[in-house]
């Protein structure tokens, strides 16, 4: 072989080697990036080539794919009662997905490794690939009751209801809401401007207020302070007497903590149950000072605050707040300092007391099945923490029942049912009217539902009707009745 042929052969081998390196680089190193690149039009059209699985709640379809007449897009996503379930289903847009549509995307579109057997069978039988179906724990009647009651308030807010013994989420409502169908079209020129418009709205309809935003908890946090106080000394109970001055001097300051509206709290010496019924500030501020930061913080953690939760959507962390002086601890003990809670966290506190002191891990997905109905994934109930002893939970339950029967939450009473609850009115730092809170569970003796309600700036007026008991408690009542009257 002459030198010219040798050089040609070497050059050809080098080019083949470079070609193989490039192929492997594209397929192994850059494959994920190219697949997800927004400029990849093949990926864009592939999103609509497979029939995504359904999302259902209590047998009701809340998201599904429908076949089209288009030559470009075989299937499009539809959302019956979209606004009612928007923050649960999420949307499936040309380049992204949210909520369940996002967390379970690979199951819904059939590409998950969990569906390998199903895909293999379909390939052998010649059937088209279909995605898995996701059933959520939401009860449609409870969801509708929560949505209607909160909407009637005319305010922004959130409602979340749990099954105390399992952690299953029965309702998850955030208002204002949006129509996921508007963000699930195939036309990017319509979807992207609409998303930007919703994202810029002051009311933030895309925000799931039940899990994505934290709020000062106001007086609903007093059940946590009370729990710490009872756990600190097991001889204490509902009839234990504590000091309740009209104003509590805060250590190392020239200010004092008043009760709501500057009112007196009984005679200045009251029982614990009376203090909770009337939601007096001064005895709880004094309890916080006596307990100290560590004990109240520790109790907060036992109820789940600071946990990395996913339901499967990620949940914003709730927090008692940083270590500060005694004056700050007094304020935090009544829910008015650095405390920040999601509505889900407050529902977990209520559920933990209802469940004899055990907090169950909340979850939203009940089961996942393939296109033929065979089970792929079933929810497993999981204990998150032991928040308080059974004895302390019973004492808290009795006192919360008295709050509804004799105290600030009397508008949450359900005929023939013992309801336990706690109201809250939380001052805000931005100069807006206070938020109205209510946490509750029922029936007290055998709880079927625990919940939290927040009405943003729901205490805009003066008087009892503007507090959590006047604004948020009736919403909680509607949700409890929906569960109990099934």
- In this predicted structure, the answer to whether residue 418 has a pLDDT above a threshold of 60 is yes
Residues 6+ apart with CB under 8 A from 350: 162, 164, 223, 420, 421, 422, 439, 440, 441, 450, 451, 452
Cα gap 34→475, rounded to integer Å: 49
Tell me: the pLDDT tens digits for 319-334?
999 999 999 999 999 9
What does the pLDDT read at residue 340? 96
- What domains, with CATH codes, occur in the chain? 220-366+383-484 (3.40.710.10)
Phi, psi (deg, nearest 5) at residue 198: -65, -40
Q: Which of 138, 159, 167 is nearest to 439 (CA)?
A: 159
What does the pLDDT read at residue 43? 61
pLDDT band at 31 (very low <50, low <70, confident <90, very high): low
Residues 6+ apart with CB under 8 A from 161: 142, 146, 169, 170, 171, 172, 347, 449, 450, 451, 479, 483
| CA-to-CA separations, 289 to 4, 293, 340, 383, in angstroms, rounded | 93, 8, 19, 31
- In this predicted structure, the answer to whether residue 20 has a pLDDT above a threshold of 80 is no
Evaluate the CA torsion angle 287, 289, 295, 297 in order and state its sign. positive
* DSSP helix/strand/coil, 445: coil
- In this predicted structure, the answer to whether residue 33 has a pLDDT above a threshold of 70 is no
pLDDT band at 42 (very low <50, low <70, confident <90, very high): low
**174, 219, 279, 371: which one is catalytic?**
219
- 310, β-bridge pairs: 314
Neighbours of 357 (CB within 10 A): 22
| CA-to-CA separations, 448 to 133, 337, 351, 379, in angstroms, rounded | 27, 32, 10, 19
Between 8 and 192, residue with greater pLDDT? 192
| Helix locations, 246-322, DSSP H | 272-278, 281-291, 293-302
Neighbours of 374 (CB within 10 A): 10
113 is annotated as an active-site residue: no
Q: Which of 94, 93, 133, 91 is nearest to 114 (CA)?
A: 133
- In this predicted structure, the answer to whether residue 402 has a pLDDT above a threshold of 50 is yes
Which residue in the block uniquely carries the two structure tokens 């169950």? 360
Tell me: the pLDDT tens digits for 108-132?
999 888 877 777 776 677 778 889 9
- In this predicted structure, the answer to whether residue 467 has a pLDDT above a threshold of 80 is no
* Angle between the N-to-C axes of helices 222-232 and 293-302, in degrees from 0 to 180, rounded to the nearest 10: 110
- In this predicted structure, the answer to whether residue 415 has a pLDDT above a threshold of 90 is yes
Q: What is the separation of C-alpha 180 from the centre of its chain, rounded to a whole number of angstroms? A: 19
Average pLDDT along the chain: 91
Phi, psi (deg, nearest 5) at residue 112: -65, 145
What does the pLDDT read at residue 124? 72
- 160, β-bridge pairs: 172, 452
Cα gap 458→294, rounded to integer Å: 32
- In this predicted structure, the answer to whether residue 10 has a pLDDT above a threshold of 70 is no
DSSP for 205-230, please give it.
TT--TTTS--B--GGGGHHHHHHHHH
Neighbours of 404 (CB within 10 A): 30
What does the pLDDT read at residue 464? 44
What does the pLDDT read at residue 47? 83
Q: Kindly report which listed range (153-167, 271-285, 466-480) carries the lowest average pLDDT score.
A: 466-480
pLDDT band at 246 (very low <50, low <70, confident <90, very high): very high
Q: Which two tokens stand for residue 138?
A: 């939401």
- In this predicted structure, the answer to whether residue 364 has a pLDDT above a threshold of 60 is yes
Q: Kindly report which listed range (20-29, 67-76, 362-371) carries the lowest average pLDDT score.
A: 20-29
pLDDT band at 86 (very low <50, low <70, confident <90, very high): very high
Between 220 and 469, residue with greater pLDDT? 220
Across 385-412, average pLDDT: 97
199's enclosing H/E stretch is helix 188-200
Which residue in the block uniquely carries the two structure tokens 């007094």? 330
Cα gap 127→120, rounded to integer Å: 10
Cα gap 336→324, rounded to integer Å: 13
Across 153-163, average pLDDT: 96
Neighbours of 141 (CB within 10 A): 16
Across 92-106, average pLDDT: 96
Cα gap 449→167, rounded to integer Å: 10
Across 420-443, average pLDDT: 91
Tell me: the pLDDT tens digits for 50-84?
899 999 999 999 999 998 887 788 899 999 999 99
What does the pLDDT read at residue 465? 45
What does the pLDDT read at residue 256? 94
Tell me: the pLDDT tens digits for 193-239?
999 999 999 999 999 999 999 999 999 999 999 999 999 999 999 99
Q: What is the separation of C-alpha 147 from the centre of its chain, rounded to a whole number of angstroms? A: 15
Alpha carbons within 13 A on the beta-carbon side of 145: 24
pTM for this entry: 0.90
Cα gap 251→255, rounded to integer Å: 9
The single-letter DSSP state of residue 285 is H
The string over 414-428, giving b where at least 16 C-beta atoms fall within 10 Å of a residue's C-beta and e elsewhere, is beebbbbbbbbbbee
Cα gap 173→167, rounded to integer Å: 17
């Amino acid at each position: 072989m002459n030198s010219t042929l040798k050089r040609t052969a070497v050059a050809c081998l080098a080019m083949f080697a470079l070609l193989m390196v490039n192929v492997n680089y594209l397929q192994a190193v850059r494959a994920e990036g190219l697949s997800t690149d927004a400029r990849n039009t093949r990926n864009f059209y592939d999103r609509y080539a497979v029939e995504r699985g359904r999302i259902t709640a209590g047998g009701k379809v809340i998201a599904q794919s429908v076949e089209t007449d288009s030559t470009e897009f075989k299937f499009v996503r539809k959302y019956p009662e979209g606004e009612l379930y928007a923050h649960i289903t999420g949307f499936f847009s040309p380049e992204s997905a949210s909520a369940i549509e996002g967390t379970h995307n690979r199951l819904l579109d059939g590409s998950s490794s969990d569906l390998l057997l199903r895909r293999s069978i379909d390939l052998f039988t010649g059937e088209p690939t279909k995605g898995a179906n996701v059933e959520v724990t939401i009860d449609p009647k409870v969801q509708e009751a929560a949505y209607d009651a909160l909407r009637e308030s005319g305010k922004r807010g959130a409602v979340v209801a749990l099954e105390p013994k399992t952690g299953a989420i029965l309702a998850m409502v955030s208002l204002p809401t949006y129509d996921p169908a508007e963000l699930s079209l195939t036309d990017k020129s319509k979807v992207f401007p609409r998303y930007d418009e919703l994202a810029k709205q002051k009311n933030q309809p895309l925000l799931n207020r039940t899990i994505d935003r934290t709020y000062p908890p106001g007086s609903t946090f007093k059940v946590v302070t009370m729990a710490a106080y009872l756990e600190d000394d097991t001889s204490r109970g509902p009839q234990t007497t504590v000091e309740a001055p009209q104003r509590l001097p805060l250590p190392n300051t020239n200010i004092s903590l008043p009760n709501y509206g500057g009112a007196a709290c009984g005679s200045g010496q009251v029982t614990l149950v009376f203090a909770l019924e009337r939601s007096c500030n001064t005895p709880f501020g004094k309890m916080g000072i006596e307990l100290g930061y560590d004990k109240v913080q520790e109790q907060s953690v036992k109820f789940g605050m600071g946990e990395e939760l996913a339901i499967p959507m990620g949940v914003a962390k709730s927090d008692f707040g940083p270590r500060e002086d005694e004056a700050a601890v007094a304020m935090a003990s009544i829910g008015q300092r650095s405390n920040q809670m999601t509505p889900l966290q407050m529902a977990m506190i209520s559920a933990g007391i209802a469940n004899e002191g055990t907090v169950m891990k909340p979850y939203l997905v009940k089961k996942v099945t393939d296109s033929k109905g065979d089970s792929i994934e079933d929810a497993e109930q999981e204990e998150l923490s032991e928040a308080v002893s059974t004895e302390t939970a019973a004492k808290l339950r009795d006192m919360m029942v008295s709050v509804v029967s004799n105290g600030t939450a009397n508008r949450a009473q359900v005929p023939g049912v013992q309801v336990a609850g706690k109201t809250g009115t939380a001052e805000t730092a931005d100069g807006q009217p206070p938020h109205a809170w209510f946490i509750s569970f029922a029936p007290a003796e055998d709880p079927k539902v625990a919940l939290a309600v927040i009405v943003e700036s729901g205490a805009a007026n003066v008087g009892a009707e503007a507090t959590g008991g006047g604004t948020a408690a009736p919403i909680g009542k509607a949700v409890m009745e929906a569960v109990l009257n099934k």
